[in-house]
């Protein structure tokens, strides 16, 4: 059974078959793959396929459908899915606008990241996909916006849900769920399989080799019919019960407000309290009557969100309406208008609206950081801390891939590590999939604070990824005086940095390796890690640290979000290390700048000083994940590996 089946629906593509098969055979030469054409042609395309199959370097099959069975491109793909034998299935067009050399990259990405589906998203700008004529690009963008408006949550992880180029794990699909209509089979798959773990890969449209586009007005109408049918048959909601609960909650809100006001409560207190009572009724009704099978936020999280919304939105709106002379004595009318206005505001701020608000703008091109060719990171967010390691090569296989969730609420998976401060798309949230290729999906506020991203997420992940590849990445300084590398470790990352630079200043022969993070190989080689020097009086002030520590102790307070917004408003000043020190690439470990001489004692000291940065416990979360899922003691393994490296000094 092959690893990959490449499904190519064709209709009168005779002139494209030979170059397509030739290029695909070269692209997947090292993969156990087959090509499956599903053909609806009325020309000689089936004959050309049969001729090519006789001499092709990989198996080529063809299913030629009679006219009575032809139901469009999507139907052809479903037929191909049923006939496929590969573990993975790649769907692509037969006109060579989908580059064959992208196919093995899609497969590699799926295998390394354990993704169920990897979408080859078309490079896009605000007009639409790059490489299409302007009218078609605008139409494509409009259709994408319509699709995202109708299915914001199902399509939240994919920027281009209408592309015809994607790879999917065959076992993750329930083919009997698929009832496509028209061109857009990917939309059908994503909407009917909302729990698929999706990844993306950007590609550039190639020029059509031969033939003509099959898109026309009739296909456009089929798209609208397809979307309408999906909308009315998938993710259906019990509308009558939902409307009843909303109406009941609104009535309770108005009555409670009036009752409390007549009891001589202060108006602002009565308004706020009545709103909270109404929201609570709605929360209970939705949990018990409308959506009893769905997961709901805890009572604590509901109360926190409702309190913030009613204090910052509902009560001020009511107060403004009461300033209108005609409404001053009509609390019920003011309350009803406030409910309508704030309900609309809440709708605007909800995931449903935000998920549909963006046009089809794909992710920015990722920047690659290669740390001595041992660890590779790809990030759409430039990381000034790692500027020294920035690489021009973009085809490197990354150990860590970072992705920004455009709608701010990264999807959680049972076999991953997730964190959410609990305040929606505006808060600090991420999901990590610890597959062979570690994928990190982050909320927008993290992307806007690169130093927060590095310190709280990337640095602990480097420590985790290093262990998986046989290295140790710890918080410590290091220098060499020509004889070898000496570790410098103090309690607190700033203390290690200060001690390292003090030694460099006093010893003219000393050369820089690292000041607060260092990569050590199993054979005792210490690799330089010159990430940028970061200074900011505000973020390092004692009051900010005390406030952050106080918020972290109270789990209901969004400490990580607070830190991200502070650094977004007041970004730290960063200076490249090469401007202040002479860097040596690597050196064998020969000692430790401390009183301890025993390797095991030194290792414990260094690791104790490598606590989670700023109190954020990502490495501890990863250690818990490894202990639970893989029965692996990450901390013990790290200590053992560092001890062995020190013993070789």
Q: How confident is the model at residue 374 (pLDDT cuts 50, 70, 90)?
A: very high
Domains and CATH numbers, the chain: 4-233 (3.90.550.10), 239-356 (no CATH), 472-647 (no CATH)
Rounded Cα distance, 358 and 148, in Å: 8
Shortest CA distance to 165 belongs to which of 71, 97, 78, 83?
97
Structure tokens at 159: 């920027």
Average pLDDT, the chain: 81
- pLDDT digits 0-9 by tens, 154-178: 787 787 888 889 999 999 999 988 8
pLDDT at 69 over 80: yes
**DSSP conformation class of 416:** S
629 vs 539, more confident: 629
Average pLDDT over residues 211-237: 65
Q: Which of 151-160, 219-228, 515-524 has maximum average pLDDT? A: 515-524
Kindly write down the DSSP assignment for every residue of 378-414, as one continuous string: EESS--GGGGGGEES---SPPSEEEEE-TTS-PPP-T
User: What is the distance between the terminal CA atoms of the chain, rounded to a whole angstrom?
Assistant: 50
Q: pLDDT at position 355, please?
A: 41
In this structure, the chain runs to a length of 649
Q: What is the mean pLDDT of residues 316-337?
A: 80
Q: What is the pLDDT of residue 353?
A: 40
Structure tokens that stand for 266 in this block: 């202060």
- Range in 331-335, 378-382, 466-470, 589-593 the model is least confident about: 331-335
**Beta-carbon neighbour count of residue 505 at 10 Å?**
10
pLDDT digits (tens, 9 = 90+) for 522-573: 999 999 999 888 765 444 445 555 555 555 555 556 778 888 888 888 888 8
pLDDT for 463 equals: 93
Query: 218-232, 376-390, 478-492, 546-560 — which one is most confidently predicted on average?
Result: 376-390
DSSP letters spanning 430-498: EEEEESSSEEEEE-HHHHT-HHHHIIIIIHHHHHHHHHHTT-EEES-EEEESSS-EEEE--SSHHHHHH
Among candidates 501, 481, 460, 435, which has minimal Cα distance to 587?
Answer: 481
Do β-strands 117-122 and 166-169 pair in parallel, antiparallel, or remain unpaired? antiparallel
The least confident of 45-54, 303-312, 370-379 is: 303-312
Q: What is the dihedral of CA 348, 352, 353, 356, to 10 degrees?
A: 170
Q: Which residue has the tokens 């590609």?
A: 203
- pLDDT category at 289 given cuts 50, 70, 90 is confident
Place 132 in a pLDDT band, splitting at 50, 70 and 90: low
pTM across the whole model: 0.72
pLDDT of residue 68: 83
Calpha distance 83→77 (Å, rounded): 10
Indicate whether 131 pLDDT > 70.
no
- Top-confidence residue, 259 or 586: 586
Lowest mean pLDDT among 149-153, 156-160, 197-201, 435-439: 149-153
pLDDT value, residue 281? 87
Contact indicator for 53, 17 with CB cutoff of 8 Å: no
Distance CA 613, CA 535 (A): 15
> Residue 511 carries which DSSP code?
E
- The pLDDT score that the predictor gives to residue 294 is 55
d(CA 202, CA 130): 11
Q: Sort strands 485-488 and 586-592 into parallel, antiparallel or unpaired.
A: parallel
What stretch of H or E contains 226?
helix 217-233
Paired tokens of 284: 């209970």
Instruction: Please say whether the beta carbons of 11 and 39 come within 8 A.
Output: yes
Q: Between residues 10 and 152, which one has the greater pLDDT?
A: 10
Per the listing, tokens 């042609």 go with 41
């Amino acid at each position: 059974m092959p690893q990959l089946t490449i499904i190519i629906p064709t209709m009168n593509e005779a002139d494209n078959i030979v170059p397509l098969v030739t290029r695909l055979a070269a692209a997947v030469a090292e993969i156990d793959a087959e090509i499956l054409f599903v053909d609806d042609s009325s020309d000689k395309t089936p004959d050309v396929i049969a001729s090519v199959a006789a001499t092709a370097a990989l198996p080529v099959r063809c299913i030629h459908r009679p006219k009575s069975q032809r139901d469009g491109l999507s139907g052809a793909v479903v037929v191909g899915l049923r006939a496929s034998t590969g573990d993975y299935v790649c769907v692509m067009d037969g006109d060579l606008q989908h580059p064959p050399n992208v196919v093995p990259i899609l497969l590699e990405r799926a295998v390394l990241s354990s993704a169920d589906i990897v979408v080859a998203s078309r490079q896009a700008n605000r007009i639409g996909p790059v490489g299409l004529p302007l009218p078609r690009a605008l139409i494509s963008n409009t259709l994408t916006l319509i699709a995202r408006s109708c299915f914001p949550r199902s399509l939240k992880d994919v920027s281009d849900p209408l592309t015809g180029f994607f790879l999917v794990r065959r076992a993750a699909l329930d083919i009997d769920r698929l009832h496509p209509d028209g061109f857009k089979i990917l939309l059908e798959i994503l909407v009917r399989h909302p729990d698929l773990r999706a990844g993306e890969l950007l590609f550039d449209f190639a020029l059509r080799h031969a033939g003509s586009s099959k898109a026309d007005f009739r296909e456009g109408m089929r798209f609208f019919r397809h979307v309408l049918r999906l909308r009315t048959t998938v993710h259906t909601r019990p509308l009558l019960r939902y409307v009843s609960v909303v109406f009941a909650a609104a009535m309770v809100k108005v009555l409670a407000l009036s009752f409390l006001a007549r009891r001589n409560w202060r108006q602002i207190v009565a308004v706020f309290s009545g709103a909270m009572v109404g929201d609570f009724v709605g929360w209970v009704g939705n949990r018990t009557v409308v959506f009893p099978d769905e997961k709901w936020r805890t009572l604590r999280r509901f109360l926190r969100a409702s309190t913030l919304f009613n204090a910052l939105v509902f009560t001020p709106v009511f107060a403004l309406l009461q300033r209108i002379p005609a409404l001053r004595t009509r609390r019920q009318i003011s309350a009803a208008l406030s409910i309508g206005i704030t309900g609309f505001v809440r709708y605007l701020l909800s995931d449903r609206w935000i998920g549909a608000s963006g046009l089809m703008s794909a992710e920015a091109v990722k920047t690659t950081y290669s740390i001595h060719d041992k660890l590779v990171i790809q990030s759409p967010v430039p990381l000034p801390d790692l500027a020294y390691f920035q690489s021009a090569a973009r085809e490197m296989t990354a150990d860590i891939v970072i992705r920004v969730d455009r709608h701010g609420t990264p999807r959680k998976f049972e076999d991953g590590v997730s964190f959410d401060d609990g305040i929606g798309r505006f808060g600090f949230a991420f999901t990590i999939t610890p597959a062979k290729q570690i994928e990190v999906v982050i909320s927008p506020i993290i992307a806007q604070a690169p130093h927060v991203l590095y310190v709280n997420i990337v640095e602990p992940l480097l420590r985790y990824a290093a262990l998986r590849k046989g290295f140790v990445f710890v918080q410590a300084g290091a220098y060499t005086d020509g004889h070898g590398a000496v570790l410098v470790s103090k309690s607190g990352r700033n203390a290690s940095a200060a001690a390292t630079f003090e030694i460099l200043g006093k010893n003219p022969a000393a050369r820089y390796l690292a000041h607060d993070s260092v990569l050590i190989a199993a054979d005792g080689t210490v690799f330089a890690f010159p990430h940028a020097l970061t200074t900011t009086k505000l973020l390092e002030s004692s009051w900010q640290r005390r406030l952050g520590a106080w918020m972290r102790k109270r789990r209901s307070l969004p400490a990580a979000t607070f830190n991200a917004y502070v650094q977004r408003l007041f970004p730290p000043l960063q200076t490249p290390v090469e401007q202040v020190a002479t860097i040596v690439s690597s050196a064998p470990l020969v000692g430790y700048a401390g009183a301890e001489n025993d390797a095991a004692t030194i290792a414990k000291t260094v690791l104790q000083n490598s606590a989670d940065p700023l109190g954020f416990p990502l490495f501890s979360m990863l250690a818990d994940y490894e202990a639970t899922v893989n029965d692996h003691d990450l901390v013990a393994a790290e200590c053992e590996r560092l001890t062995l490296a020190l013993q070789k000094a």
